[in-house]
Chains A and B, each alone.
Chain A
Amino acid sequence: MRTRLIVLFSVLAGGLLIWNLHTIFLRVPDEASQGAIFRVFYFHFPAAVTSFTLFFVAMFSALWYLRTRDLRFDAAAAAINEVAFAFATITLITGMIWGRIIWGIWWAWDPRITSYFICLLMYFGYFMMRRAIDEPHRRARLSAVLSILASVDIVIVWKSIEWFRTQHPGPVLEIRGGGGMAPGMEAPLFWNVVVFLMLETALVLVRMRQQSIQSEIESLRRYAHAF
Chain B
Amino acid sequence: MNFLRQALAVASKDLRSEIRSKESINASVAFALVILLLFSFAFDPTSDQVREIAGGLLWLVFAFAGTLILNRSFARELVNDCLDALLASPVTGAQLFLGKAVANFVILTVVELLAMPVFSIFYNVHWTQSIGLLFLVMLLGTWGLTVIGTLFSAMTVNLRLRELMLPMLVYPMMIPALMGAIQLSSLLVAGEPVGADNQIWFRLLVAFDVIFSLLALALVETVLVG
B62 sits at the interface (CB 8 A): no
Is the beta-carbon distance between B215 and A149 smaller than 8 angstroms? Answer: yes
Q: Do residues B207 and A125 form an inter-chain contact, with CB atoms below 8 A?
A: no
On chain B, which size bracket covers the interface? 20 to 34
Q: Which residue of B lies closest to A144 (CB)?
A: B222
- A118 within 8 Å of B (CB atoms): yes
A212 vs chain B, min Cβ distance (A):
23
Interface residues on A, range: 20 to 34
Residue B226 interfacial (CB < 8 Å): yes
- A153–B222 touching, CB < 8 Å: no
Encode B188-226 as 1/0 by CB contact (under 8 A) with A.
000000000100110010011001100100010011001
Is there a chain B Cβ closer than 8 Å to A68's Cβ? Answer: no
- Of the candidates B161, B175, B222, the one whose C-beta lies within 8 Å of that of A118 is B175
Interface segment out of the listed B35-43, B71-79, B126-134, B164-172: B164-172
Residues in A156-186 with C-beta less than 8 Å from chain B: 156-157, 160-161, 163-164, 167
Inter-chain contact B172/A122, CB cutoff 8 Å: yes
Interface on chain B toward A: helix, strand, loop, or mixed SS? helix
Q: Report if A102 contacts B (CB, 8 A).
A: no
Instruction: Please tell me if B83 contacts chain A, counting CB pairs below 8 Å.
Output: no
Smallest distance from the beta carbon of B9 to chain A beta carbons, Å? Answer: 25
Contacts of A145 in B (CB 8 A): 155, 219, 222-223
Chain A contacts for B201, CB-based, 8 A: 163
Q: Is B179's CB under 8 angstroms from A164's CB? A: yes
Q: Mark A191-214, 1 if CB is under 8 A from B, else 0.
A: 000000000000000000000000
Q: Is the CB of A129 within 8 A of B173?
A: no
Q: Is A146 at the interface (CB under 8 A from chain B)?
A: yes
- Asked, given contacts A132-B159, A149-B215, whether A161 binds B179 with beta carbons under 8 Å apart, the answer is yes
> Within 8 Å CB of B156, what residues of A?
129
What are 5 sample pairs from A and B whose C-beta atoms fall under 8 A apart?
Answer: A125-B172, A132-B161, A133-B159, A138-B158, A156-B204
Binding site for A on B (CB under 8 A): 151, 155-156, 158-161, 165, 168-169, 171-173, 175-176, 179-180, 183, 197, 200-201, 204, 207-208, 211-212, 215, 219, 222-223, 226
> Beyond A122-B169, A138-B226, A153-B172: 11 further Cβ-contacts under 8 Å?
A128-B169, A129-B156, A133-B159, A145-B219, A145-B222, A156-B204, A157-B175, A160-B180, A163-B201, A164-B179, A167-B197
